[in-house]
Amino acid sequence: MPYNAATAAARLSIAPMMDWTDRHCRYFHRLISGRALLYTEMVTAPALVRGGAVHLLEFSQPEHPVAVQLGGSDPAELAEAARLCAERGYDEINLNVGCPSDRVQSGCFGAVLMERPALVADCVAAMIKAQPVEVTVKCRIGVDDQDPEAVLPDFLSRIRDAGVSRVAIHARKAWLQGLSPKENRDVPPLDYDLVHRMKAEFPDLHISLNGGLETLEAGLQHLQTLDGLMYGRAAYHQPWDVLSDADEKVFGASPSATTRADVVHAMLPYIEAHVDAGGKLAQVTRHMLGLFAGQPGARGWRRTLSEGAHKPEAGTALVLQALDAVHVAQAA
């Protein structure tokens, strides 16, 4: 398997999450971990190719290594979308075969594609041929009444033969009928053992485990067998708890940030630039609300930012005010 920055970073990654992992969130996460692989929200190929919405691909250089996730099911359109992503310097291009939402199903992409593995193989083959950046897949273990024991190995075999060497597996089925997207993140049972068996069956594939990982320690045991961990909501809601030790414990490197307060201060120039350019403070700070989760002062931090960040005059002074509330609580 050829070395690249994204493959090395995929030992721990932050999952693509709609409405959450935007560029502000990624910049914030990068300050806590310098090594983890960061993903964009899903961007649909039709939006890029037919809609010309290439602004959705904007990111800042400090985010590297950063991957873009595409949604779609037309090989030619995905190939063109992948080319647009490669031109903008992404380290990886990922195809979404896991999202269970209704709007994704209606476009015939996301988890519904688990039912059409041959089409997925055609899509990734076209994406690989169109540009030089590594193409990966994020999938479920199956959908609805499929038998994951039969479906998943066939699916992995097809995408591997099409040229994919790295895959992230959400270790739950997706129920396209009867469960909401939110319920699909919790209700179907996890099957970590199946993912481990897939690694044994496909030793040449780089396999990351996604789904239900709540602490860094809970994930580390899986790295004895698997190649990577992909964290979603836990990394968003408790970013320090998941990411602050990751550089050391997962990558064997020095920590990127010493304290939570260091991260706040490092965010200030970015926030100031965003606000000076006409952006709103809340667009950035909404991703920072969980920084002090579980710590004295966490409630004051969240309340100060939640109540004040939407005001027109809000800027870095409010962030420092929220940090002061933490310091006061911790000194009490």
Specify which residues 170 forms β-bridges with. Answer: 140, 210
Contacts of 105 (CB under 8 A, 6+ apart): 111, 112, 176
Taking the C-alpha atoms of residue 61 and residue 83, their distance in angstroms, rounded to an integer, is 19
Contacts of 260 (CB under 8 A, 6+ apart): 240, 291, 292, 295
Length of the chain: 332
Instruction: Judge residue 68's burial from the number of C-beta atoms within 10 Å of its C-beta, 0-12 exposed, 13-18 middle, 19 or more buried.
Output: buried
Question: What tokens were used for 47?
Answer: 């939006």
Active site residue 99: yes
Catalytic residue among 25, 85, 99, 139: 99
Could you tell me if 159 and 167 are in contact, meaning their C-beta atoms sit under 8 angstroms apart? yes
Parallel, antiparallel, or unpaired for β 37-44 and 166-170?
unpaired
Nearest residue to 132 via CA among 89, 165, 162? 89
Backbone φ and ψ of 237, nearest 5°: -85, -25
Query: Hey, which residues are catalytic here?
Result: 99
